[in-house]
Structure 1
Amino acid sequence: MNTEEHVIEVSDLRRVYGGGFEAVSGITFHVKRGEIFALLGTNGAGKTSTVEVLEGLARPASGTVRVLGHDPHRERSAVRPRSGVMLQEGGFPSELTVAETARMWAGCVSGARPAGEVLALVGLTGRTGVRVKQLSGGERRRLDLALALLGTPEVLFLDEPTTGLDAEGRRDTWNLVRALRDGGTTVLLTTHYLEEAENLADRLAILHEGRIAATGTPAEVTAAQPSRIAFELPEGYFPGDLPPLDALGVCGHETEGRTVRLRTRELQRTATGILVWADRAGVALRGLDVRSASLEEAFLGIAREASNSPAPRTEQPV
């Protein structure tokens, strides 16, 4: 394998449940070696249905899926020893201690590294003698991650990895995932924390009603949404006193009292025009707030657009 090989390849994947409900409607995407790829979407968008196929837990209704060059369901024995899976809920015996759980799981993993090593990676060294039922929710997620790493996986599936973690624990997990990526591990991540995807993902796809609505780097996805500028008009000035907004690249605006909010796809041009106007008028713009769209805004905007106009069923760069 070379560093550019597609470790995960999905082509026209469909997943259909009893009664004919189509949870995944012909999606296509790929993930390269040493890449963190995030699958995002609202509840029911098809994330879990897609990941279950990638993990080999279910067959597709149609289409093809390859993980490390193999069909993960039919050739499970070729894929499983080289992959790690962190489910939303591990479901480990509550009476076992952390150390006992890790040792038990290590017995089910080919080429498992020492349990103490992976527990140290996730910050559980001081909790090895604690029973699973006594762990906090965040500590259980750390244990889930540790067990997914026992086999030094080439490809790692992380399903909501930081649920229940505090801010410090979340940052520590992010750093660990980045270190794994830098070491060559391919990571497929699902998360409801859009900040997490924005910070971690090299590329991402947003699913909506079983289809891919947008894909690309976080910067590419957010760049497709308007940036925002907000400020208060000085006393004695009105929106009509501003320069022509369409000439500044403004694509939408609203006012609330003396506050003006502008939307633009040309942030530098719009911001420059407003600031030059204020400078020439000799006024200060209080509450000035200039910002690019966040991934959350892009996510919500894409979901709204997709609801009004169904997206194509293949990978579509934004």
Structure 2
Amino acid sequence: RYAEIMSSVEVLIEEHRRMEAAGLREHSRLHRIVPSIGTFFTSLPLRRAFLAQDAKHSIAARRFVPPSFNDIRRILNTAQLYAIAPDLQLITFDGDMTLYADGQDFAKDSKLVCQLVSLLQHDLRVAIVTAASYGDDATGYERRLSGLLAGFEEAGLSAERLARFFVLGGECNYLFQCKANYHLQYIAEDIYRPATGIRLWSDVDINRLLDVAERNLRRCVSDMRLPARVLRKPRAVGVIADGGAGIRREQLDECTLSTQHALLKYQHSPSQDKAPLPFCAFNGGSDVWVDIGNKFIGVQLLQAYLGTTPATTLHVGDQFLSTGNDFSTRTACCTTWIVSPQETSEVLLDLNELLDQAKA
């Protein structure tokens, strides 16, 4: 019965894709059922994906527990892998809680090292798109990714394949490329950014926006008596817990949502006669950050620079709730929603197997 349901949803998705291609998305049955439905950049073989997940997790054998949110999430992930693997050109990853534990560095003994090496050996372009921001100095990024870069060297990747690995820090603000010496090199913004949009953001406008965000975050810390401090960077401001203190998710969400509200109110005030700067206010799981720009812009910059499309790009991340910073990538490319580095490893195990099959 579940397989039949998945087949029916497949039909609805394909109809929606055809209607959208014809400029008639509002007339699809799926749009009428779910008016907020987005764009499907590829087909989704949901029946095949369900059967694969059922073989692993015995979903249909359960009598008292229906398919859960996580079951559906994994089915969608698997369907997306099946659909995109033959044409995949660019795969991007979130950092914390996707490739490594929150606030930690990429360990050399992580299973993900070999799996990312394998992606590069399949001649894919691989990028880490992270909120972590150390400006245009590669040292901070190299420290966080030390185990991965050491793994590249141990694998003896060629200069050509190393050049396919990128790091985009601060959501969309600082781009680095791996060089033949296994170090990251900053790419000047005039090389990969178009002459419009992001390059027109002025320091004055950036600082004014961050001032508003900082005031609200300081108010949140004070009002909720959070064991935290506010940290300001050139293109970001955030709340970080003191020492080993923890901040409850509800408090982090309050910081995030109230800051989003304050910034939108500021941007739409009568005194603002310029186009509003894009920003991302998000709950990072243990902290809250407001970044200038977002991952939607970051992924699109990479696509334009590397010549890929939404249908040939896959973003893997854990922050796809409305208060997360991976959320915006859904409108830029295909996505896979994971919840831990372990699950990322499982996804890449399946993906590398599909890539091997496509090559055979």
Larger radius of gyration, structure 1 or 2?
A: 1
Taking structure 1 as the reference length, the TM-score comes to 0.29
* Larger helix proportion of the pair: 2
Higher strand share: 1
